[in-house]
Amino acid sequence: MTTRSSLITHRSSPQFNALPPLSLYIHIPWCVRKCPYCDFNSHEARGELPEDEYVSALLLDLEAALPRVWGRPVLTVFIGGGTPSLISVRALDALLAGVRARLPLAADAEITLEANPGTVEAEKFAGFRAAGVNRLSLGIQSFNDRHLKALGRIHDAAEARRAAELALRSFDNVNLDLMYALPGQTPDEAAADIAAAVAYAPQHLSVYHLTLEPNTYFHRYPPALPDDDTAAEMQDALEAQLAGAAYEHYETSAFARAGRRSKHNLNYWMFGDYLGIGAGAHSKISFKNNILRESRNRQPKTYLAQAAVGAVIPETRDVTHAELPGEFMMNALRMNQGFDLSLFAARTGLELTRILPALDQAETRGLLTRDHQRAAPTLLGRRFLNDLMQLFLA
């Protein structure tokens, strides 16, 4: 039998025997209106979207990045935002054709598009499917008009319902995003939102606790939110409700029917690689002896201007050895079933000894369980995830 000490090897710098799986993230930075709680890189679209120009910029960006991921198959693609469903089916088709011509997409690649439930967008769902998108992630947030209004959403409950219906008619792999602990929301209302979502039988649900993020309108003018105990009650109830409806709770906010976990997000949480193209997009790319992070300019105008003169230039930096354990654990601890301990060395290129003291401490505090093969957060660890992650930060 393997003992903990037999897992210890001695190596001082990262070294990868095999590179991690690779995903592609494509950022579309525009929205009809900025929501007051949102800190994503999204910008109000004024007038018509420069979509053709932007698709050309994305493909130029991709082409310049190709040498950094040369020959590696891409297992998943995620087109996120912003509101990617604002772009036309024609532009999306051109984008995906351009991606396929430049990168070896796996035959069964998961290709997700984030969509908002506006009427105009819902009418495009079938076209998006025909263009090659095979998973739709729909930002419902709530099925309650009062709460949608409080969130500053541009759609109402009827549009949310119609969009969910249309999404499930065109796609056999649909995620619905919901948020809870909304301004003025009661536990019964939160449960009613979950029940309404489950009634559509989506393959996946992402249920987020509304947080007040710095640099948002809600942060500056905080609305009256349910207190911590009420929010915790809502969380316990929705987890039980979703377990009862055959959704596996596999990550902090993610629930999936059997075989329908998000492959793209799992690759992030398992500290896989991703190339991010588009305004404000980030990449993490492993090489034989180092891991590189890239970020592109957040402003769509600047990004387009860079492309217009022929070069989207990301800022780049190597992840330091000291940062790697924390970065790995910030992702891996989000998964309810935890991770195989061998994944730490496989993804960071470092020895497991680096995190043994923190693993021991987390176990002693009841935040983590571990055997010779796996480590996973306990229920207490999941409820106090920030405290648990803190133990691994440099």
Q: How many CB atoms lie within 10 A of CB 40?
A: 16
Q: Per-residue contact track with ligand SAM, 142 to 181, x per CB under 6 A?
A: -----------------------------------x-x--
**Cα gap 223→185, rounded to integer Å:** 11
Q: Which does 114 bind (CB under 5 to 8 A by kind): ligand SF4, ligand SAM, none?
A: ligand SAM
**Paired tokens of 70:** 């040369």
Q: Provide the token pair at 309.
A: 């003169």
Name which of residues 79 to 108 contact ligand SAM (CB under 6 A).
80-81, 83
Q: How many residues bind ligand SAM (CB under 6 A)?
A: 16
CA 88, chain centre distance (Å): 23
Give the residue from 99, 78, 94 showing the smallest Cα distance to 28.
78
Q: Return d(Cα 394, Cα 23) in angstroms, integer.
A: 27
DSSP state at residue 224: P
Q: How many CB atoms lie within 10 A of CB 368?
A: 22
Encoded one letter per residue, x for contact with ligand SAM by CB under 6 A and - for no contact, window 316-345 reads ------------------------------
In the complex, the smallest distance separating the C-beta of residue 20 from ligand SAM, rounded to whole angstroms, is 24
SS3 112: strand
- Residue position matching structure tokens 């054709």: 97
Binding site residues, ligand SF4, CB under 6 A: 31, 34-35, 38, 40, 42, 81-83, 116, 139
Question: Is the distance from CB of 369 to CB of 379 less than 8 angstroms?
Answer: no
> Whole-angstrom Cα distance, residue 158 to residue 142?
11
Burial class of residue 286 (count of CB atoms within 10 Å of its CB; 0-12, 13-18, 19+): buried
- From the list ligand SAM, ligand SF4, none, partner contacted by residue 150 (C-beta under 5 to 8 A by kind): none
Task: Please state the closest distance from residue 394 (CB atom) to ligand SF4, in A.
Answer: 31
Pick 83 or 206: Cβ nearer ligand SF4? 83
Instruction: Note whether 279 and 298 are within 8 A (CB).
Output: yes
Nearer CB in complex with ligand SAM: 213/318: 213
- Interface with ligand SAM, residue 37, by CB under 6 A: yes
Q: How far is the CB of 177 from ligand SF4 (least distance, A)?
A: 9
Binding characters for ligand SAM, 222-261, by CB under 6 A (x = yes): ----------------------------------------
Question: Cα–Cα distance between 103 and 263 in angstroms, integer?
Answer: 18
CB of 150 to ligand SAM, least distance (A): 13
Q: Is 262 in the site for ligand SAM (CB under 6 A)?
A: no
Closest separation in Å from C-beta 187 to ligand SAM: 18
Q: Which amino acid is at 231?
A: A
- Rounded to the nearest whole angstrom, what is the least distance from the CB of residue 78 to ligand SAM in the complex? 10
Among 22, 26, 38, 197, binds ligand SAM (CB under 6 A): 38
Give 364's contacts (C-beta < 8 A, 6+ positions apart).
none
Residue type, 94: A
In the chain, the amino acid numbered 161 is R
CA dist 311 and 61 (Å) reads 7
210 binds ligand SAM (CB under 6 A): yes
Residue 34 partner contact from ligand SAM, ligand SF4, none using kind-dependent CB cut-offs of 5 to 8 Å: ligand SF4
Shortest reach from residue 77's CB to ligand SAM, in Å: 16
Give me the residues that bind ligand SAM (CB under 6 A), please.
37-38, 40, 80-81, 83, 114, 116, 139, 141, 177, 179, 208, 210-211, 213
